[in-house]
């Protein structure tokens, strides 16, 4: 018998009433109608509280989605840049030490009166330095109860050698004012030894504090990279400053010891030499100037063409100028960009590693004008010297080095560069991080696990309009680890339990292989089907990972096999992880000034603006140190 909805409801109500009749209900018992309403609300809550699979089956396809009020689409944002906070200076607590220094080094003509006087003088010493240096100085003098820098009533040669190195700190990219110490005068009133002792005591602690601070800065840098932005990820080096002070106290060559605290690598030395060269240049520069915003294409007419030719004459090689001598000699400064001049520009572009298309844009103009001014170059080298201190002392005989502003990756073996290739790095809105790691795996025919940021920022808007989008594109979707069609997922809730991946194929975003160095930033190197990007000069175009122009070559190098062997693994068509047996560090670095394999420092655009944040950090550090000095 078929019942109408009214009959069903009546029967249900009758049953509920019967139940009430049979069982005495408490005063707060739920009525049947309340129960129906609660059940309805529960189902709505379950539908809205995704991730999950839509249970509505009455409507097919997109109509099966649980429709909700239009709300702003969620967004996943990347790390942010910080306002740099430098450490405040701390007073060195030598007055808390029992008999901090004995006066074995005080000359006989002021002892024993000097013995008590100098000890008393330490109770009034007010020297401030960074917290690590302050702690080291306190510990050092509690264990080593004699002067390092004082002989008799004056400073010794060891002190003079240390002061000379500190005063020259700018030569290695540090700030000499951070280590400035007031030097006791040679002349003093012998009738007022109390004042002399106070002066000597202050100098002793001040110089030890300056030396400890210098050693720490020379080894690991003044700036804590992790305070600059969330894109910086480094474990700061530990520096044993107590041991450094002991070494200084025992050293017969303080100058050599202090100078050895800065990195000794060829790269650092090249940067140091470049800084000295730049500072020696005269302030007046004979620079080629090309108007901002100039964009010159073949066949056009532009008055800046004369400056373009001038730039080629100034910065092109002798061989290039010989090959195009007729064009250069006959050019009369006219604005017409003729085929002969296009050939000249293309040759210049090719010589400098640019795409030889004859289009004079930002990258070409940078080379034609000689790039940065001397002042700009000095600023970039100073930043590079600081950042170089964040890296290990030894990068490793075999390692991979990615320099993001150069859009290049370099492979080293036996301590020398074996090859380099073009890369594509993260765009300004999807920046690649600055960190170090170790290469572990080469995965051929890879799956691409789509990051949550891409699911939310890029896929979700499409999926809300077309739930079949991922099914059509061949992606695999799972909710809570269970494979489901994308059309069955309610895309109006949280995506935290939803995973999306693209199977291996010719269209896979990772191409035919990826090279992994597991890290918390989900950054790796990989192939790409978008080969045209490598022809561009500005290649900050990815979602953050590093795309390789020649992925098989890099894979073969880190695996220690031939490219043919890598090709066979790819041709097999299976997704397969190949373990990298060797210990190969990888540095995902960011240097706008860095030496090439010949030791010549090259300069690059600050694509992410990170040098600006470094200079702000320098200023904040200088302010904090001067405020407490």
For residue 128, how many other CB atoms are within 10 A of its CB?
Answer: 17
- Check 352, 399, 543, 545 and give the catalytic one: 545
Inter-residue contact 501 to 449 (CB < 8 Å): yes
DSSP 8-state secondary structure symbol assigned to residue 236: P
CA separation for the pair 277, 260 (Å, rounded): 21
| Residue 441: Cβ-neighbour burial (10 angstroms; 0-12, 13-18, 19+) | middle
CA separation for the pair 183, 272 (Å, rounded): 28
For residue 427, how many other CB atoms are within 10 A of its CB?
Answer: 16
* Cα Rg of the chain (Å, integer): 35
- Is 17 one of the annotated active-site residues of the chain? no
**462 sits in which H/E element:** helix 460-465
- Is 545 one of the annotated active-site residues of the chain? yes
Return the sign of the alpha-carbon dihedral for residues 615, 616, 617, 618.
positive
Parallel/antiparallel/unpaired status of strands 525-526 and 546-548: parallel
Complete DSSP assignment for 543-579: SSSEEESSHHHHHHHHHTS-HHHHHHHHHT---EEEE
List, in order, residues 6 or more apart from 442 with CB less than 8 Å away. 513, 514, 515, 516, 555, 558, 559, 566, 577, 578, 580
Tokens of 326: 């007729």
- Check 352, 399, 526, 543 and give the catalytic one: 526
- Name the residues annotated as catalytic: 526, 545
């Amino acid at each position: 018998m078929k019942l109408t909805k009214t009959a069903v409801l009546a029967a249900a109500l009758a049953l509920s009433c019967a139940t009430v009749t049979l069982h005495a209900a408490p005063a707060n018992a739920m009525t049947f109608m309340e129960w129906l309403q609660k059940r309805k609300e529960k189902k709505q809550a379950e539908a809205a509280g995704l991730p999950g699979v839509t249970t509505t089956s009455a409507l097919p396809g997109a109509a099966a989605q649980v429709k909700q009020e239009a709300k702003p689409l969620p967004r996943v944002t990347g790390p942010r840049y910080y306002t740099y906070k430098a450490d405040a200076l701390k007073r060195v607590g030598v007055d808390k030490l029992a008999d901090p220094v004995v006066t074995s080094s005080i000359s006989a003509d002021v002892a024993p009166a000097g013995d008590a006087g100098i000890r008393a003088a330490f109770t009034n010493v007010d020297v401030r330095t960074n917290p690590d240096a302050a702690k080291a100085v306190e510990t050092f003098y509690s264990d080593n109860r004699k002067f390092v820098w004082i002989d008799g009533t004056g400073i010794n040669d060891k002190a003079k050698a240390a002061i000379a190195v500190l005063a020259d700190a700018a030569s290695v990219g540090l700030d000499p004012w951070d280590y400035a110490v007031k030097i006791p005068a040679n002349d003093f009133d012998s009738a007022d030894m109390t004042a002399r002792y106070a002066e000597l005591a202050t100098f002793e602690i001040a110089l030890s504090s300056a030396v400890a601070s210098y050693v720490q800065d020379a080894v690991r840098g003044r700036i804590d990279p992790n305070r600059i932005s969330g894109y910086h990820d480094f474990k700061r080096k530990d520096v044993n400053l107590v041991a450094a002070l002991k070494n200084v106290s025992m050293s017969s060559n303080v100058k050599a010891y202090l100078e050895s605290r800065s990195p000794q690598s060829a790269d650092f030395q090249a940067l140091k030499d470049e800084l000295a060269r730049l500072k020696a240049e005269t302030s007046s520069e004979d620079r080629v100037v090309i108007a901002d915003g100039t964009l010159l294409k073949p066949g056009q007419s532009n008055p800046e063409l004369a400056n373009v030719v001038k730039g080629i004459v100034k910065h092109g090689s002798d061989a290039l100028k010989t090959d195009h001598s007729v064009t250069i000699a006959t050019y009369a400064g006219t604005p017409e960009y003729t085929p002969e001049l296009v050939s000249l520009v293309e040759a210049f572009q090719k010589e400098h590693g640019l795409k030889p298309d004859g289009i004079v844009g930002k990258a070409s103009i940078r080379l034609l004008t000689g790039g940065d001014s001397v002042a700009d170059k000095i600023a970039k080298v100073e930043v590079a010297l600081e950042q170089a201190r964040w890296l290990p002392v030894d990068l490793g005989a075999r390692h991979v080095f990615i320099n993001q502003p150069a859009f290049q990756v370099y492979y080293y073996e036996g301590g020398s560069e074996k090859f380099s290739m073009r890369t594509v790095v993260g765009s300004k809105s999807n920046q690649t991080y600055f960190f170090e790691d170790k290469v572990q795996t080469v995965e051929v025919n890879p799956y691409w696990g789509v990051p949550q940021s891409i699911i939310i920022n890029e896929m979700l808007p499409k999926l809300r309009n077309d739930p079949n989008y991922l099914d059509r594109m061949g992606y695999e979707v799972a909710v809570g680890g269970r494979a489901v069609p994308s059309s069955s997922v309610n895309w109006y809730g949280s995506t935290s339990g939803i995973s999306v991946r693209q199977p291996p194929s010719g269209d896979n975003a990772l191409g035919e292989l990826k090279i992994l160095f597991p890290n918390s930033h989900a950054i790796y190197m990989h192939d790409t089907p978008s080969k045209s990007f490598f022809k561009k000069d500005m290649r900050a175009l990815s979602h953050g990972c590093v795309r390789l122009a020649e992925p098989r070559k890099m894979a073969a190098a880190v695996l220690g096999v031939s490219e043919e062997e890598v090709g066979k693994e790819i041709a097999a068509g299976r997704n397969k992880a190949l373990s990298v047996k060797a210990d190969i560090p990888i540095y995902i670095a960011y240097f706008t000034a860095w030496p090439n394999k010949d030791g010549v420092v090259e300069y690059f655009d600050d694509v992410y603006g990170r040098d600006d944040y470094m200079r702000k950090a320098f200023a904040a550090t200088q302010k904090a140190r001067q405020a407490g000095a």
